[in-house]
């Protein structure tokens, strides 16, 4: 059995995702196709890269991940396959795949050029169906990755601000706001440790011009309904939440916005 996962910004109204799945099953009928998300914000490569990097580690070894957030479709941007220590990533060379791939350890990157493994007619607007889906399906069928095209050394990586420790505070940014309104930052446990913050402590948070004070909890309902808290989320990043509420609305948070945290004395 071979797992092929899909992450796109195609949405769930149109038939684009179904066409990709149909092509995969034509080539590799025994593939097990799993949707990661099709509701990545349109053209937002950074958000797609973040989501793929969150989800990929939970998949079995040898899984093949297709990512299609592809504002440059039809241009000279390359189509690539990334071989990592534990899986495969197929998609455009625009950084989308690389956050996830780097986490797993990149072994080789190949450009997809061999037309034998594309649809006979490649549209200018839908490489997900005409290039990436067939490539993943042939890979699942056991075609050697070197058959798809030449190895390449220079490829695009996504740029993310790393959280920075400055005196007694950490500067970070908002990576993602989930469907519950939880605010996921790029600040990890190690930065909190450097600040000397541990569970039960109160964190001072500055977003834009607003200041908040929230307790670092280990469960949402350590605070009352409607009250804000900080918590280490399920991906190991610092998150801000509201118990049974929506933190993004309460904190006027937006993806990409900067924030500063410090330990309340």
What residues line the site for its own copies (CB under 8 A)?
Answer: 1, 3, 5, 10-19, 21-23, 25-26, 29-30, 32, 34-39, 42-43, 51, 54-55, 58-60, 63, 71-75, 123-126, 129-130, 178-180, 218-221, 231-234, 239, 244
Question: Distance (Å, rounded) from C-alpha 85 to C-alpha 105?
Answer: 5
Please say which residue, 74 or 200, places its beta carbon nearer to its own copies.
74
Helix, strand, coil proportions of the chain in percent (round to 5)?
25, 35, 40
Please say which residue, 172 or 233, places its beta carbon nearer to its own copies.
233
Question: Distance (Å, rounded) from C-alpha 265 to C-alpha 256?
Answer: 28
Residues 6+ apart with CB under 8 A from 85: 104, 105, 107
Q: Nearest approach, Cβ of 146 to its own copies (angstroms)?
A: 27
Q: Nearest approach, Cβ of 207 to its own copies (angstroms)?
A: 21
Number of C-beta neighbours around residue 196 at 10 A: 9
Q: Nearest approach, Cβ of 189 to its own copies (angstroms)?
A: 12
Q: Nearest approach, Cβ of 216 to its own copies (angstroms)?
A: 11
Q: Nearest approach, Cβ of 164 to its own copies (angstroms)?
A: 26
What are the two backbone dihedrals, phi and then psi, of residue 136, each rounded to the nearest 5 degrees? -60, -40
Please say which residue, 112 or 133, places its beta carbon nearer to its own copies.
133
With beta carbons less than 8 A apart as the criterion, state whether 118 and 93 touch: no
Strands of the sheet containing 2-8, edge to edge, are 31-37, 2-8, 64-68, 88-92, 79-84, 106-111, 151-152
Please say which residue, 169 or 178, places its beta carbon nearer to its own copies.
178
Q: What is the rounded end-to-end Cα distance, in angstroms, of the chain?
A: 55
Please say which residue, 7 or 80, places its beta carbon nearer to its own copies.
7
With beta carbons less than 8 A apart as the criterion, state whether 205 and 195 touch: no
Q: Nearest approach, Cβ of 263 to its own copies (angstroms)?
A: 21
Which residue, chain included where needed, has tokens 């071989």? 83
Helix (H, G, I), strand (E, B) or coil at 203: strand
Please say which residue, 9 or 171, places its beta carbon nearer to its own copies.
9
């Amino acid at each position: 059995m071979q797992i092929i996962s899909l992450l796109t910004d195609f949405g769930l109204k149109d038939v684009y995702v179904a066409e990709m799945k149909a092509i995969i099953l034509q080539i590799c009928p025994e593939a097990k196709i799993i949707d990661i998300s099709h509701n990545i914000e349109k053209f937002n490569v950074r958000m797609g890269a973040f989501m793929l990097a969150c989800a990929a580690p939970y998949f079995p070894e040898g899984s093949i991940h297709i990512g299609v957030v592809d504002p440059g479709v039809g241009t000279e941007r390359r189509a690539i396959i990334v071989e990592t220590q534990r899986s495969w990533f197929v998609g455009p060379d625009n950084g989308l795949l690389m956050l996830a791939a780097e986490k797993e350890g990149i072994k080789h990157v190949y450009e997809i050029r061999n037309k034998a493994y594309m649809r006979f007619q490649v549209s200018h607007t839908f490489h997900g169906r005409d290039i990436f889906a067939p490539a993943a399906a042939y890979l699942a069928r056991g075609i050697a990755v070197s058959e798809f095209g030449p190895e390449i050394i220079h490829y695009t990586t996504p740029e993310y601000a790393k959280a920075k420790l400055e005196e007694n505070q950490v500067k970070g940014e908002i990576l993602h706001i989930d469907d519950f309104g939880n605010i996921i930052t790029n600040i990890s446990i190690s930065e909190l440790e450097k600040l000397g913050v541990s569970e039960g402590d109160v964190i001072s948070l500055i977003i834009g011009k607003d200041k908040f004070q929230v307790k670092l909890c280990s469960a949402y309902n350590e605070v009352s309904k409607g009250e804000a808290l900080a918590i280490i989320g399920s991906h190991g990043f610092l998150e801000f939440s509201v118990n049974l509420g929506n933190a993004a609305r309460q904190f006027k948070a937006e993806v990409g916005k900067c924030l500063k945290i410090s330990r309340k004395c």
